[in-house]
Structure 1
Amino acid sequence: MSKKWNIAIVGATGAVGAQMIECLEERDFPVGKIKYLASSRSAGEILEFKGKAVLVEELTHDSFDGIDIALFSAGGERSKEFCPSAAKAGAICIDNSSAWRMDADVPLVVPEVNAHAIAGYKKKGIIANPNCSTIQMVVALKPLHDHAQIKRIVVSTYQAVSGTGKKAIEELRVQVGELLNGRPANTEVYPHQIAFNCLPQIDSFCDNGYTKEEMKMVNETRKIMEADIKVTATAVRIPVFFGHSESINIETAKEISVATAMELIAAAPGCELVDDVAEGIYPMPVDAAGQDFVQVGRIRKDESIENGLNLWVVADNIRKGAATNAVQIAEILIEKYLK
């Protein structure tokens, strides 16, 4: 009988936490004991794992005795506070927040791109899950970079409200109903109305005029790809529930044809080529939602530069952009490092 592992889900009652539970079930991860942890407000709730009731417990520094792997999705502050306690208790933390991503002693991992980096978990007992927009972009660009060496990336994102959490999903739903019935839309989660609107701000602004979300894409891409690629990003929130979309322009060191790019992406792990413009087929959030592939389409030459390509990339931000990526890391961890 194969070994089973004791798992803790930190932030189990949130949107990503719920998806982590679902991914563990779907992928038949060898779970022994499972523990659901959340804030005191959510403690006492009853969730399920494979049809069995699981009590949600309050997250404390003593929550991790006997836990092998802790999947964190409870925000940066809690990760900063509780990951060291979990690691000290012997649990390996896979953290979905931005708290540890740029720490030199913490690997930042997308399994299809830099699975080898997982080996660095031993330094602090922590592995960082990248930003959702970064994950889908590097999965799509990895095969192109290996073939032609990407020099520069210009990316604009069109991000679903689920990236902000359950309250944002509800805010969009309520705003749509209010506006369609001739009533004003109240805003609580976002600084402006999100229904029937686009907000060119995700997270707070930095001194350079970029948002923190945009700078995450710049810095995380370089760390994951292990290359000094020039990256510039614009991140936009749009009134879609699930699925982030990205318009990506790349400049490469050597020429890469559209046909070759399509072949490389079609064969790449984690990618799905969705590109038949003659038939009106291209990636869309409604199709990407609920599945784990990074869909890539609208591949075409950038005729304004010598070695340029344009791509349209879509993925489910809660699944591949967060939960699935974390569970994939855990799968590699137990297969190669925790036998």
Structure 2
Amino acid sequence: MPETLDIAVVGATGLVGEALVELLEERDFPVANLYLLASGESAGKSIAFRGRNIRVGKLDDFDFAKVRLVFLSVAADAAVDCAARAREAGCSVIDLSGASLNNAAALLAQACVNGEAVETLQLPALIAAPAAPAAEVAEVLAALRGVLELRQVTVSACLSASALGREGVQELARQTAELLNARPLEPRLLDRQFAFNMLAQLGGVDEQGYSVVERRIAAELAVLFPELKDGLSVTCSLAPVFFGDALMVSLKAAAPVVLSAVSAALEAAEGIELVEDDYPTVIGDAQGQDSVYVGRVRTGLTDSRELNLWIASDNVRKGAALNAVNLAELLIKHYL
């Protein structure tokens, strides 16, 4: 284990930021001094870490020269400025915002897919972590690479309120309370009823009808799996669930799928739990866990080259925070 190092978590009071702090403690990450940062009213709060409360500092006032590694869990526009400031100060960055995807200096990475690429980086490094749904799908695709020559992947993702951050969780809770107490519903964060409803898209769409998150997931999967560059389709809906992603994935292979080989590959993959006699759910299986749960594995109705499966995962802990911490562990192993 390397020497301890000073670390900053930007966006520490958000859902993913809090999960990052929890995982740094649980996994005994070699932290010397931990700086928790946020902007606006969130600064000044306290978060527990290793038996003491750490006061959240103001992001605008922070000198990144104090630390060697930064986790960025903020909106994309804020992340661009933070990443630039941190790297100018000689600090490596793991960016969860998606803002670094098109930065030529950044490496889009996931430990189970292309973790070895971290060894090629020059410090200070800029590593882009994929969006939670992309990371969850990528984990399964990586496990199947040895038994399937993939041609196409279609992802239908039912995302939870937490995909909108803490504000999304609060909006769902407020709307649910209003409806259960027979009060008039007042949508605020969203433009319509969310509670007890399914929404066909997450945020606005572009001229082709795709949302920012759909574009991001497709772009990140194309980088992680170049063979799928022209064979990706992504649709995201919003489900009235507080936490967790549920994804229906349809794969097209070059040759007929052998289900026994697929099951064996999924069983052997670290970070994946295969549920064969039932199907997993976010609430019953995945929430709070460090694995992606896979079930309903079956071939196509009319095409033997098709493979369909269901994924349930904790988007905040597994999909976002744990993947970022895994990347940090690779980085410090080889460099820091």
Contact 2:2 2:333 in 1 (8 A): no
* SS of equivalent residue, structure 2 residue 33: strand
Give per-residue Cα distances to partners, 1:137-174, cap 9 Å, x unaligned. Answer: 01011122332211001110011111111111111112
1-structure distance, mates of 2:271, 2:215: 24
Query: Which letter maps to 2:259?
Result: V
Residues 239/120 of structure 1: CA separation in 2 closer, same or farther (3 Å cut)? farther
Contact 2:158 2:246 in 1 (8 A): yes
* SS of equivalent residue, structure 2 residue 237: strand
Corresponding position of 2:56? 56
* SS of equivalent residue, structure 1 residue 78: helix
Corresponding position of 1:282? 279
* SS of equivalent residue, structure 1 residue 19: helix
Contact 1:106 1:123 in 2 (8 A): no
Superposition pairs of residues 190-209 of structure 1, within 5 angstroms: 190-209=190-209
Give per-residue Cα distances to partners, 1:73-104, cap 9 Å, x unaligned. Answer: 01111111111110111211101101012333
TM-score w.r.t. structure 2 length? 0.95
Corresponding position of 2:214? 214
Residues 104/147 of structure 1: CA separation in 2 closer, same or farther (3 Å cut)? farther
Contact 2:94 2:127 in 1 (8 A): yes
Corresponding position of 1:251? 252
Superposition pairs of residues 159-198 of structure 1, within 5 angstroms: 159-198=159-198
Contact 2:248 2:310 in 1 (8 A): yes
2-structure distance, mates of 1:2, 1:217: 33
Does residue 1:300 correspond to 2:295, yes or no? Answer: no
Corresponding position of 1:10? 10
Give per-residue Cα distances to partners, 1:234-293, cap 9 Å, x unaligned. Answer: 1001011111010000001122212211110111121111121xxxx2110102010110
Bigger Cα displacement from structure 2, 251-260 vs 121-130: 121-130
2-structure distance, mates of 1:98, 1:88: 20
Corresponding position of 1:224? 224
1-structure distance, mates of 2:119, 2:330: 10
Corresponding position of 1:272? 273
2-structure distance, mates of 1:270, 1:121: 25
TM-score w.r.t. structure 1 length? 0.94
Residue 114 of structure 1 and its aligned partner are, at CA, apart by 1.1
* SS of equivalent residue, structure 1 residue 292: coil
* SS of equivalent residue, structure 2 residue 163: helix
Bigger Cα displacement from structure 2, 10-19 vs 226-235: 226-235
Residues 320/125 of structure 1: CA separation in 2 closer, same or farther (3 Å cut)? same
* SS of equivalent residue, structure 1 residue 195: coil
Residue 58 of structure 1 and its aligned partner are, at CA, apart by 0.6
**Aligned alpha-carbon RMSD (Å):** 1.6
Contact 2:92 2:123 in 1 (8 A): no
Contact 2:205 2:212 in 1 (8 A): yes
Corresponding position of 2:320? 322
* SS of equivalent residue, structure 1 residue 94: strand
Query: Which letter maps to 1:283?
Result: P
* SS of equivalent residue, structure 2 residue 81: helix
Query: Which letter maps to 2:282?
Result: P
Residues 206/119 of structure 1: CA separation in 2 closer, same or farther (3 Å cut)? farther
Contact 1:158 1:238 in 2 (8 A): yes
Structure 1 gaps of 5+ residues are none
Contact 1:10 1:59 in 2 (8 A): yes
Query: Which letter maps to 2:281?
Result: M
Residue 330 of structure 1 and its aligned partner are, at CA, apart by 0.4
Identity of aligned residues (%): 35
Query: Which letter maps to 2:265?
Result: L
Corresponding position of 1:337? 335
2-structure distance, mates of 1:77, 1:142: 30
Residue 320 of structure 1 and its aligned partner are, at CA, apart by 1.5
1-structure distance, mates of 2:302, 2:210: 25
Bigger Cα displacement from structure 2, 46-55 vs 151-160: 46-55
1-structure distance, mates of 2:140, 2:61: 38
Hey, which bits of structure 1, 4+ residues long, moved more than 6 A?
A: none
